Structure 1
Amino acid sequence: MQLQPGATDYLALNLGDSLAFVDKRLLPGTDVWFYVVLNSVFILVFLPLALLFRRRRSALTSEVIELDKAIRILQDKVELNSRSGTAPSIALGKVSERINHLLKRDQEVRHLVRVQGLIDHELAIGNRVFFESKLQHYLGDVSEVAYGALYIIQLSHPEPGPAGIKQLTRLKGCVDILHGMAAAYPDTVMARLSDNDLVLLVAGLTGREMEKLGDRMATLLSRASCFADCTGQDVLHIGYAGYQRDQTSYQILSEADMALKTAQLHGPNAAYGFVQQDSKPPAKGSVWWRSELNKALQEHRFTLSFQPVFSWQDSDVLQHEVLVRLQSSDGQNIPAAIFLPMAHNCGLTGQLDQHVLLKTAKLCAVDSRTYSRCSVNISIQSLLEPQWCDWLDQMLLSGQLEPQQLALEISEHHLLKHYKQLKSRLIKLHKAGFSLIVDQIGLVIDNAIYVDELPLESVKLHPSVVRNINQHLEQQLFVRGLVSGYAGKGVKVIATGVELEEEWLTLQKLGIAGGQGFYFSQPLNQIIAQGQTQ
C-alpha cells in the first residue's frame, strides 16, 4: 500500500495477518519507546492467540468435512438415496435399520441351510429322510424308551392338478391338529411320509394308550374345518403299529402300512392298529418308584460311567459325557431313559441332578492337573426351579463345585420350548464359569433362535443325524450347514453315536470338531486323563 507524504509520522504495528499504521500525531506527548513496547505486546500476546485460533478453526473445519464424508460413505454402502439437507441422525437411523434387516436375513439363510435336506417345505415338518433316521434311532439307541407307537395318517381321495391345492390345505390343517395332540407327550416325531401321507411316532406308549390315541386322532381329524368342503364323509384313515427296540424300521413301517390298508376296509375315517401285548416292561407304580428312587439317593446306588469325546485334530480327549444308571434294589441295572421319567413324575429330578453334579465334581477333583472335563446333562425342571439355582450358587460359594471342571448340557428341544425363561439363567451360569453345551441337534427342525444370543462352547449332533451319514447326502448337507453357521462364533460341532469308520471319515470331511460313540470307546468306569490316549 502507499502512504501519504510524511509517512515517518506513522507507527507500523504487526497484527498477525495484518499491518496497522497509527498516526503519531494522534498521540501527542508519547515517547517512541512506548510504541516499541506496544508493538512487542501485540507480537508476544495477541499474535499467538490469533495463530492458535486460526489453527483450531482449520482443524474443526477438517473434522466437519471428514464427518460429512463418513456419513456419505455409509449412505452409499447401504444404498440410501438421501436427499440434500437430510439430517445426519436420520441417515444413521436408516443405516441401523438396514443392518438389522441384513442380520435377520442372515439368520433366515442359516436356518434354511441347516434344514434344507431334512424338511418338507410345503408343510414345514420333517421329510421321509428325516423320519427314517429318527425311527432308526429310537429302535436302536438304549438311551431311549424301548417301546412306542407309529401312526400313518393318509388322506382319502387325493386330488391331482389344480385341485391339489385343496389337498395341501387339508394336510396343513391336519399338521396343526397333530402338533397340538403331540404336545401332551414328551417324545414325538412328525413328518411327511409321501405326498398324501403323514407319520407320527410317539415314544413310550403302551398297547391300550396307542389304541386310545388312534381313535381320538381319527375323531378329531375327520371333524376338522379343513375337511368342511369335502363332498363325502370319507376323508382319512389311520394305521398304527407298536414297536420295540431292536426291530427294523422296515418291519415297523410295513406293519403300520398293513394296518392302514385294514383301516380302509373298515370304512370311513377308521383307525386300526397292530398292538404288541408285551411292549411294556413289568409295571411298577408311582409309589414303588418314589420309594426306590429315594432309597437309591440315600444309599448312593446311582452309578456313573464316562463316555469320552475325541478330537480328530489332536487325537486326544476333549471331555467326557457323564452317563447315569440306577442299581435297583432287586439287582437290575436300569438306564436313565427308564428311571428319569419316573423321577420327573415323583418330583425328584432336582435331587438327582444335585447328586450327579456333586459326585462328578469329586471325581474330577481327584487330580486337577490331569483331569479331563466332564459334561453333565441337566434337566429342564431343575433349571426352571429358583430353589435349585440357589442351591447351585451355594455350592459354588462353598467350593464344592468347580465350574471349570464341568460343562452343562441341555437338549435343544427343551431349550427352544422354554427359551424365554432359560436365557438369562444360562447366561448367568456361563458367567459363573460353566461351559454350555446344547445336545440332540437335529432331533427337531425348529429355528435355532438361541444361536446368536447364548455363549455356547459346543453343540452335539443327535445320533440319528450321524447314523449312516456317509450314505445320505441330505444329512451331510445338514451337518455342513450347521458347521458353517457356527464357524464364525467359535462354537464346536460334536458328533454323538459314531459307530462306523465310514461315518467318522465323512464327519471329519464335513468339519466336525470331535466325536463320541462305540467306534471310539464304550462308556468307561473312570475318567481318561488328557494325553493318555494311544
Structure 2
Amino acid sequence: MNSNYQHVLILEDDAVTAEHLSSILVKQGITSVTRFESGFEVLHEVEHSKHPDLILCDLRLSDMDGLQFVRFLTETHYEGDIGFISGNDSRVLDVVQQLARSLGYSVLGGLTKPVTPNQVVRMLMARPINEPAPQPHSIYSLSANQIIKGIRSGALVPYYQPKVDVKDNRVVGFESLARWRDKKTDQVLSPATFIPVAERFGIISELSLTFLKTVLSDFKQFHAFDEQVSVSVNFSIESLSDRHLPDMLIDLLREYNVSPSRIVIEVTESRLAHDRINVLEVLARLHLAGFRLSIDDFGTGYSSLYRLKHTPFEELKLDRSFVQDAVKDNSAQAVIRSSMQLAKELNMEVVAEGVETVEEEQLITQMGCGVMQGFRFAKPQPIESAFNIEWPLHQVSQVESLRTGDARV
C-alpha cells in the first residue's frame, strides 16, 4: 500500500495490541512507527521533538483517557492526523472523535479491538495521498480586518457540491460552500479560518450577502442542468435575526433574475436551540416569498418536535456523522430511520450528507433515502469546473476524498 504517512506514533499501554498494530503498519509501508504507553510521554515527545504524521491513541490509558489526551494535545500545536483505538462502546468513541474534530483536527476514525489489518487499511486510506492535513482552528484564522477587506476585494468564492438523486443519477441541486482565496498566494482557505471570526465580530451578514451575490452571478452557468435545479446557501442565525433580510434577498434575486424557488436557505439545527421570534418571522416570510428552507446537520442539535412542526422547513439533511457511522453502528441507523420517519410525517424531503463509500450509498438507499451528497459523487468544486462535470458524475474514491470539516455560510 502506498501510504502517505511516514511516522506514526502509537499510544497504547497494552503491549500485545501495540506490537500487533505496529506490525500491521510496517507491512503497509510506514517507515517509522513509535510506541508509547504514557499519554504524558507522548505530549512531551510531540512538544519537543519532530511531530509524527499520525497519532493512534487508545481511549483507556493508565495515566489519562482519550478525552484528556486530545485536550492536552492542543497545547503542543500538533498538526498531524489522529485516529483512536477502543474496546469500549462505540458511542464513547464517537464522543472523542467529535471533540477532536471540534478542536480542528483531521480525525481518520476509530479502530476497534481486536484490531485487524482491514481496519488499519481503511483508516490509512481516509487521508488522500499528498494532501496536507487540515490545520487546527486555533493555529490560524483571518483577522476581522482581513475579512472586511477580502469581502470587498472578491476573496470570497463559492465551491459547489451536487445533490444527487441516486434512483436515476440526476443532479437535483447544489450546495454552495464558502471558500477564501488568498490572491497573493492563490491558496484556498477553509471556512473554519473566517466564518467563526465573522460571526464573533458581527460581520457575518455582510459576508453572507456578498457570498449570495456571487452565487447568483454564477446562475448563468447552470444551462447544462434542468431549470428546476436549486442551489443551497447557508445562513447564520445572526443573519436570520434581521427582519429586513427577506426584502433584501427578494431585491437581490430580482436584480439577478433568479426565482426564489431555486434558492434553498440552509439553517444548522444546533443554532436553532433557542427560539428567537425574529428568526421564526424571517423564516416564515422567506417561505411565503417562495424560498425553500432546509434544516442542516440534523441529529446533532436539540430541535424540539414543536419547533420543527411550526417552522416551514421543506428539507431535512442528515448529518454526515450518522451517515458515515451507519454501516457499522446500529445506533446511527436508528437515528437515520427515526429522522426519515419524522421527515415523512412532516412532508419534508431527506438528503443524506457525507456519503463517501459504496457501502454507505447502498445502505442509505436501502433505508429509503434517495437523494445524497458527498465525495462518493463529487467533492466541492469551483465554478469553472463544477458545472462541467461529465454525467454520470465521477465517483470519487476514498483515496481522493478530502475531509474539510466545513463551517458554512
Normalised by the shorter chain, which TM-score bucket?
0.5 to 0.7
Q: Note the C-alpha offset of 1:459.
A: 0.6
Aligned to 2:167: 313
SS of aligned partner of 2:376: coil
The letter for the 1-side match of 2:75 is G
CA-to-partner distance for each residue in 1:375-426, whole Å, 9 max, x for gaps? 0111111111234444224324555553122111000111232353322211
2:239 corresponds, among 382, 396, 420, to 382
Name the % identity.
Answer: 23
Is residue 425 from structure 1 mapped to residue 282 from structure 2 by the alignment?
Answer: yes
Q: Note the C-alpha offset of 1:497.
A: 0.7
Counterparts of 1:488 and 1:346 in 2: how far apart (Å)? 39
Is residue 497 from structure 1 mapped to residue 357 from structure 2 by the alignment?
Answer: no
Counterparts of 1:302 and 1:207 in 2: how far apart (Å)? 31
Task: Check whether the contact 2:182–2:189 (CA below 8 A) recurs between aligned residues.
Answer: yes
Task: Check whether the contact 1:206–1:280 (CA below 8 A) recurs between aligned residues.
Answer: no
Q: Note the C-alpha offset of 1:491.
A: 1.0
Aligned to 1:270: none
* The structure with more helix, counted as a fraction of residues: 1
SS of aligned partner of 2:392: coil
SS of aligned partner of 2:301: coil
Counterparts of 1:451 and 1:401 in 2: how far apart (Å)? 28
Distance 1:480 1:347, change over 3 A: same
Q: Note the C-alpha offset of 1:290.
A: 2.6
Task: Check whether the contact 1:207–1:279 (CA below 8 A) recurs between aligned residues.
Answer: no
Task: Check whether the contact 1:436–1:455 (CA below 8 A) recurs between aligned residues.
Answer: yes
Aligned to 2:270: 413
Aligned to 1:359: 214
Q: Note the C-alpha offset of 1:509.
A: 1.2
Q: Note the C-alpha offset of 1:315.
A: 1.8
Aligned to 1:246: 106
Aligned to 2:96: none
Which has the larger displacement, 416-425 or 290-299?
416-425
1:207 corresponds, among 75, 91, 95, to 75
Counterparts of 1:499 and 1:367 in 2: how far apart (Å)? 25
Counterparts of 2:100 and 2:388 in 1: how far apart (Å)? 46
Is residue 346 from structure 1 mapped to residue 201 from structure 2 by the alignment?
Answer: yes
TM-score when normalising by structure 1: 0.47
Is residue 333 from structure 1 mapped to residue 188 from structure 2 by the alignment?
Answer: yes
Q: Note the C-alpha offset of 1:495.
A: 0.8
Counterparts of 1:531 and 1:490 in 2: how far apart (Å)? 33
Task: Check whether the contact 1:492–1:512 (CA below 8 A) recurs between aligned residues.
Answer: no
Q: Which runs of 5+ in 2 are unaligned?
A: 1-59, 77-98, 112-134, 394-409
The letter for the 2-side match of 1:328 is D
Task: Check whether the contact 2:243–2:282 (CA below 8 A) recurs between aligned residues.
Answer: no
Counterparts of 1:428 and 1:375 in 2: how far apart (Å)? 17
SS of aligned partner of 1:408: strand
Distance 1:387 1:520, change over 3 A: same
TM-score when normalising by structure 2: 0.60
Is residue 516 from structure 1 mapped to residue 367 from structure 2 by the alignment?
Answer: no
Q: Note the C-alpha offset of 1:283.
A: 5.2
SS of aligned partner of 2:378: coil
SS of aligned partner of 1:386: coil
The letter for the 2-side match of 1:295 is K
Counterparts of 1:376 and 1:241 in 2: how far apart (Å)? 27
The letter for the 2-side match of 1:245 is Y
When the two structures are aligned, how many residues end up with a matched partner? Answer: 280
Q: Note the C-alpha offset of 1:325.
A: 0.7
Aligned to 2:156: 302
SS of aligned partner of 2:312: coil
Distance 1:248 1:524, change over 3 A: closer
Q: Note the C-alpha offset of 1:502.
A: 0.8
CA-to-partner distance for each residue in 1:462-493, whole Å, 9 max, x for gaps? 11111131111111111111111222333111
- Max Rg structure: 1
Q: What is the 5 A alignment of 1:34-49?
A: none
Distance 1:418 1:470, change over 3 A: same
Counterparts of 1:283 and 1:529 in 2: how far apart (Å)? 33
Counterparts of 2:66 and 2:238 in 1: how far apart (Å)? 32
Task: Check whether the contact 2:100–2:107 (CA below 8 A) recurs between aligned residues.
Answer: no
Counterparts of 1:356 and 1:298 in 2: how far apart (Å)? 11
CA-to-partner distance for each residue in 1:45-79, whole Å, 9 max, x for gaps? xxxxxxxxxxxxxxxxxxxxxxxxxxxxxxxxxxx
Distance 1:281 1:399, change over 3 A: closer
Distance 1:249 1:395, change over 3 A: closer
SS of aligned partner of 2:240: helix
Distance 1:301 1:509, change over 3 A: same
Counterparts of 1:429 and 1:293 in 2: how far apart (Å)? 27
CA-to-partner distance for each residue in 1:311-336, whole Å, 9 max, x for gaps? 12232111000011111254232111
Aligned to 1:533: 392
Task: Check whether the contact 2:296–2:319 (CA below 8 A) recurs between aligned residues.
Answer: yes
Distance 1:381 1:512, change over 3 A: same
- Quote the RMSD (CA, aligned, Å): 3.7
Counterparts of 2:273 and 2:190 in 1: how far apart (Å)? 26
2:312 corresponds, among 455, 473, 481, to 455
Counterparts of 2:378 and 2:140 in 1: how far apart (Å)? 33
